[in-house]
Structure 1
């Protein structure tokens, strides 16, 4: 079973990223990637909170669209016990700035729903260990992201 905990900095944010859409897109992305179980959280915030988090965790004093915090068994600062049952595996946490997401929509000329799904897929890929050096279209992770976006979007329109 896949468990997704979704939270919002303010109640009004749920209109911009509906709980049912977020959960469905995350679960479907994990299924397409062959993941049958696991837990993760997704929190939606505004730019100010995201700027503070980005500064704290990455040393960058600016907002960003998404931060992913992977839960890893080899983390030396906070080791996790061995997990025999994969149903109990915690993948990690994603934090998305809806303000930055909406600026992305304007910049890339894409609908909000598409960009929301793109960010959810991006975060899930990071939680599963994918990474990228740049935001270039030739990055394997970003190629995978766009491929998943096509499949998830196509299925969600049915």
Structure 2
């Protein structure tokens, strides 16, 4: 998606959605569940903004933050399914869709996702939940907590 003067409201709503998502994640202190329920899917869907391009000569919106936020959004929903369906999440369509966009290189804005998604290359009974949670904590610390701290100075 390319955001320019003709659709700058889309960019503004996307940025607002990312900040709202990060706010709720900060309240929880990590990925915990249901953070994306606060985001209107008409305004922001993680899949649509993974490779967003902002015409920065016209609109002053942080492209990197929106791209990272799109990945965080998808990780929130992915985590909800992993936690809620601990015994059967590997076969879920949504998880396969997220893994597909990761394989296509569309989540490279957060390189740590590569290690996270490698964990899914196993059978359900061998999934390493400890390492999975460790990687999510690392992503939370680096891309949410540090980002919010940098924004507030």
- Output the TM-score relative to the length of structure 1: 0.28
- Output the TM-score relative to the length of structure 2: 0.29
Structure richer in helix, relative to its length: 2
